[in-house]
Amino acid sequence: MQRFGTLSFGHYGPLGGGHILTAQDSMLQAIDLAQGMDDLGVNGAYFRVHHFARQQSSPMPLLAAIAARTQRIEVGTGVIDMRYENPLYLAEEAASVDLISDGRLALGVSRGSPETVVRGYEAFGYTGSEDPRGADIAREHFDLFLRAVEGEGLAERDAMSPFGGGSGMQRIEPHSPGLRSRIWWGAGNRDSAEWAGRMGVNLMSSTLLTEDRGLPFDELQAQQIDTFREAWRGAGHAGEPRVSVSRSVFPITTAEDEMYFGGRQDGDGVGYIDGMRSTFGKTYAGAPDVLVEQLLADAAVQSADTLMLTIPSQLGVAFNLRIVEAFAKHVAPALGWTSTRDNVTA
């Protein structure tokens, strides 16, 4: 593990006791938290994307705002549901954010996760899927999106246009030359991980895998990562791809931490999600030295270069920044972490 960041679900709504966290509160707090993490040298701030839910649904404005208010931290998604996306518009938005951030975008996309509605992407106008989960729509959208990001001409120029005209095919604008290397695919099983490797995109592996092979979650996930890297090399792609995994990790250093997370240490789980038998990762909560020992023994954390910490964003900026700071000071260095501030010269 060389890098770590936070993965926020961006929940908002009633908090209990008459308190309400609004959508505006959630986004403004996300910006403030990212600024604080940038000061700490944390490597990334990533956001889950869910439609028809009180969570982040259109992350690009938020990522652009964070990019404009920070200097070093990577901004990204984990993941955007491609079933809902206009591929060319997403490519334009992604290029814009990548340029604003000076190449700090880590855009995670995928088929998406289970929804709160039935085939919600059809309400967005994307119909005709022959797959009950819309995976065919996601792959079709991703293919066009990737072609746009790569700068392929996709629309014929109008020779009679008063705005430049010409002949041949025109790419979308703006274009960010390095963005292609910063695209990630969120894979939930070995087959999708292998596909991502062949496509030459980075891998985001979740705390949920839609398979059960009777192995501990971290070993199952490590095998998925190995499959991805083998496919990457087999396809002849240059360089080394990036790989991220997400975990719920809570260093307990105060009485308040103990109140919220004491006794939360649990094991792997197996159940059914979206009609598929799935394996869930554990929650890590304990003293920093215990967490170091446990995470060093986590095969997938050790195999990945980036660890995303799922955070309870509803608890506010100060609380979450303290969790992140405790991880940065007491846990991450022993795992091989490199702070973004280590590359800053006076």
Dihedrals phi, psi of 195, to nearest 5 degrees: -60, -45
Token pair 């083998």 in the structure block, residue: 230
Packed helices 60-69 and 87-100: angle between N→C axes, nearest 10 degrees? 10
Task: Spell out, as residue ranges, where the chain has pLDDT lower than 50.
Answer: 270-273, 276-278, 345-346
Q: Where are the domains of the chain?
A: 3-154+173-335
CB atoms within 10 A of CB 161: 9
Q: ∠ CA 272-298-115 to the nearest 5 degrees?
A: 30
Preceding omega of 288 cis (within 30 degrees of 0)? no
Query: Please, are residues 41 and 72 in contact by the beta-carbon 8 Å criterion?
Result: yes
Rounded to a whole number of angstroms, the CA Rg of the chain reads: 20
In words, the CATH class of domain 3-154+173-335 is: alpha beta
DSSP readout, 213-271? -SS-HHHHHHHHHHHHHHHHHHTT--S---EEEEEEEEE--SHHHHHHHTT-----EEE
Query: Please, are residues 51 and 84 in contact by the beta-carbon 8 Å criterion?
Result: yes
Token pair 């506010």 in the structure block, residue: 316
Query: Please, are residues 145 and 87 in contact by the beta-carbon 8 Å criterion?
Result: yes
Which run of H or of E encompasses 198?
helix 190-199
pTM of the shown model: 0.92
